[in-house]
Amino acid sequence: MSSWKLKWHKLTHWEYWPLWAIYYPLFPVWLYFSLKARSFFFFNAANPSMKNGGMAMESKMDIYNLIPQEHIPQTLFVSKEANPAMMLENILDSGISFPFIAKPDIGMKAFGVEKIHNKDEFQGYFAKTPENFLVQELIPHTKEVGIFYVRIPGDENGKITGIVSKEFLSVIGDGKSSIEQLIKKNPRSHLQLKALQKKFGAGLKQVLALDEEFILVPFGSHTRGAKFVDITHKLNEGLSKTIDGICSRMNGFYYGRLDVLYHSLEDLAEGKNFSIIEINGAGGEATHIYDPKHSLFFAWREITKHWNYMNKISILNHEMGHSYLSFRDGREMLRANGALEAQLRVI
């Protein structure tokens, strides 16, 4: 695909637009909710058990400690001050074996998330990552879903407001084209070409057999090429009960998105064969909006609807004594988050 066609594709498909282009038109809506709460950074009270309500700069390890432990991967915290060789020995002694997942303890958008296959890759990751990070066992389930959950303080049960299926970025062989040639045939993968060249190098010259699938990015991140498909219509009583049963056990959690690896939706609805790999609080998007079939106006309606939930939850929690974030602290949080994102993008 030529460069101008690729640029035209980005321009005409809003899912690829920068966040400011999507969210800035909604600033008057945010201002309205801020006036209702009498705080620009009201979201701090949405999830009292999460730093900054889970908007940004929160520790993933702290959030994992909130989740019922039977529903998360085995996870270890790695300090940047630790000795890499000793830390790797501790990891392997804990029962986590290669390959495993490494991810920043404080991060966003799957930046800095990598699959580590051996000692050299671990040492390389340790050297380049700027902050503390987590190591997790590799979960065998190959499907990922994002489930948005809200619960109004005082209500016995919460509800699911959106479900997105995440299709990992991949190519299918035709028996004659190289992986790089296959990547260039699809704008979704072509837009990731520079990152993929950095990751695979000469490996992109490999020719795949007919119908052979090669997963380019084994993570359900939209910023790294995953396709998001809205499957909210598949919500059922069993799935609602499973997710509400987990979230209601998390003290101080009312609003956010659960990212889940699972075997099948039937199993997930029955509460088996799944693992929660991450929970995003106030900063979590209702990512079913990024389904290519949805218009920007649909996205704006969903964003507004979820901000309304977050605003109502925050006001009620504030009335119960949970604080909002001061303007000074909120501005500092955004500055720190921007600086960290710039660091993680280059990992």
pLDDT along the chain (347 residues), means of 10: 90 95 98 98 98 96 97 96 95 96 90 93 93 95 96 97 96 96 96 94 96 92 93 98 97 97 97 97 97 98 98 98 96 92 80
List the beta bridge partners of residue 165.
Answer: 145, 229
Whole-number pLDDT of residue 145: 97
Whole-number pLDDT of residue 299: 98
pLDDT digit string, tens, across residues 162-204: 999 999 999 999 999 999 999 999 999 999 999 999 999 999 9
For the chain, domain boundaries: 15-72+141-168+218-341, 74-138, 169-217
DSSP-assigned states of every residue in 187-235:
HHHHTTHHHHHHHHGGGGGPBPPTT-EEEEE-S--GGGTPEEEE-GGG-
Instruction: For domain 74-138, give the fold.
Output: Dna Ligase; domain 1 (3.30.1490)
Specify the CATH number of the domain 15-72+141-168+218-341. Answer: 3.30.470.20
Environment class of 316 (CB within 10 Å of its CB; exposed 0-12, middle 13-18, buried 19+)? middle
Residue 92: helix, strand or coil by DSSP?
helix
Q: Are 153 and 316 in contact (CB under 8 A)?
A: yes
Whole-number pLDDT of residue 147: 98
Residue 156: helix, strand or coil by DSSP?
coil
Mean pLDDT (the chain) is 95
DSSP-assigned states of every residue in 277-338:
EEEE-TT---GGGG-TTS-HHHHHHHHHHHHHHHHHHHHHHHHTTPPPPPHHHHHHHHHHHH
The values of phi and psi at residue 24, to 5°, are -60, -40
Whole-number pLDDT of residue 234: 98
